[in-house]
Structure 1
Amino acid sequence: MLQPILQIRQTSALIGIDADPGSISITQPKADLSVNTTPGELTVQSYRPKLNVDQSRAWAAYHGGNMLEMNKRIYSGIQQLYLQGIARKVEQGNRMAQFFRPGNTIAEVYGTDTEPNSFPENRGPASYDNVDINIETTAPLINFRAAQVNLEVERHFPEIEFNRGKLDIYMQQYASIQFIPPEVNVQL
């Protein structure tokens, strides 16, 4: 005889999970850099050389120079000529005082004095070094200012964005137990 069998059916619970991952984005703007440069400056101030030429002694040698210098030379020359003339007359007088000596006759003493008295030189001495040249130079003024560089940096913090993901947990199927009784034949 067959024994009746009780059937038990069980279904497991199913959990459903729907997940979308989250996302993160990080951006960082570049830093702002500001560069200000003051250029260097170089100034040079130069001076022309000064040339001084003094040729007054050359002009005095050519034509006597200016009137004051020429008159001074003539005046001092006349004094010399006057003193030389007096000395010559004294010497002639001394010779005449000794007329008894041979060669001291009037004709010989005054007869040989036929050269005219010269006029004093009114020009200056001639020389190759009568022109004075003087050159004056001045050193240049040099000013230098170095260049300057100013840096300004403005930094920016990173920008972070986070988008949450989705996580849904649900019961896709509930657990169940089913008991199926055996068929009972009631025919008796």
Structure 2
Amino acid sequence: MQIPQIRIESQVGKIGLNINKPIQSIEQPQADLSIEQPPAEMTINRQPGRLTIDQTLARENLDLKSIFKRNEENAQLGYQTLMEYISKTVQEGDELMKIENGGQPLIDQAVRAMDRESVFNTGNTPSQDSVKIEYAPAKVEIEWNRNKPNIQVQINKPIHEYTPGNVEVFMQQYPSLNIDFTI
């Protein structure tokens, strides 16, 4: 006896996938940088040194006097000589007025007049201190003005490109079911 049989054949369904991966690119451009350095400014204020040499006294010691100095000295010498003459005349007059007191006033006066020394001046050598020297040193003032640098930065945004991926689903193999009945 034959037993009836059921024969079942099944085929599994298969799904196929086509995958396109996403593409992403990120690029960061460099920043634009601008630096400018203005030059420093320098000013110099200079006051020159001053040298003063006064040799008037040395020239006067050598009898090389200016006309104004010579006039002043002559006026002073004339005044002094006049005063000495007046003083001497008064003194001699007083001596003569008191002749009755005794003594020899006329002879004494004559001897004094003969004893006067003549002065002859050939000039002097200037002394060490006769030349006056004054010196004021130079003054230098330096001023700096440093200028700050000008820095400008332009930041660039990143370049971002993105292509999304996709997935295509398809049936690679369809499922099937066959049922057979056999006796």
Q: CA, structure 1 residues 68+97, in 2 after alignment: closer, same or farther (shift >3 Å)?
A: same
* 1:56 counterpart residue number: 56
The residue type equivalent to 1:32 in the other structure is: D
The residue type equivalent to 1:150 in the other structure is: N
* CA deviation profile, 1:55-80 (whole Å, cap 9, x unmatched): 21222222151012112101211221
Consecutive unaligned residues in structure 2, runs of 5 or more:
none
| Structure 1 residue 151 corresponds to structure 2 residue 159 | no
Q: Contact 2:52–2:135 at 8 Å: present in 1 too?
A: yes
CA distance in 2: counterparts of 1:56 and 1:120, whole angstroms? 23
CA distance in 2: counterparts of 1:169 and 1:106, whole angstroms? 167
CA distance in 1: counterparts of 2:175 and 2:36, whole angstroms? 76
Consecutive unaligned residues in structure 1, runs of 5 or more:
184-188
The residue type equivalent to 1:6 in the other structure is: I
Report 1:28-177 matches (<5 A): 28-116=28-116, 129-137=129-137, 139-177=139-177
Q: Which has the larger radius of gyration?
A: 1
Alpha carbon RMSD of aligned pairs, Å?
A: 2.9
Identity over the aligned pairs, expressed in percent? 23
- TM-score, with length taken from structure 1: 0.79
CA distance in 1: counterparts of 2:15 and 2:112, whole angstroms? 167
CA distance in 2: counterparts of 1:73 and 1:60, whole angstroms? 11
Most deviating of 108-117 and 49-58: 108-117
Q: Contact 2:49–2:139 at 8 Å: present in 1 too?
A: no
CA distance in 2: counterparts of 1:63 and 1:6, whole angstroms? 164
- TM-score, with length taken from structure 2: 0.81
Greater RCO (CA < 8 Å, at least 6 residues apart): 2
Q: Contact 1:17–1:169 at 8 Å: present in 2 too?
A: yes
Q: Contact 1:78–1:120 at 8 Å: present in 2 too?
A: no
User: How many residues are aligned here?
Assistant: 181
* CA deviation profile, 1:13-58 (whole Å, cap 9, x unmatched): 1111122322211111111111111232232222221112222122
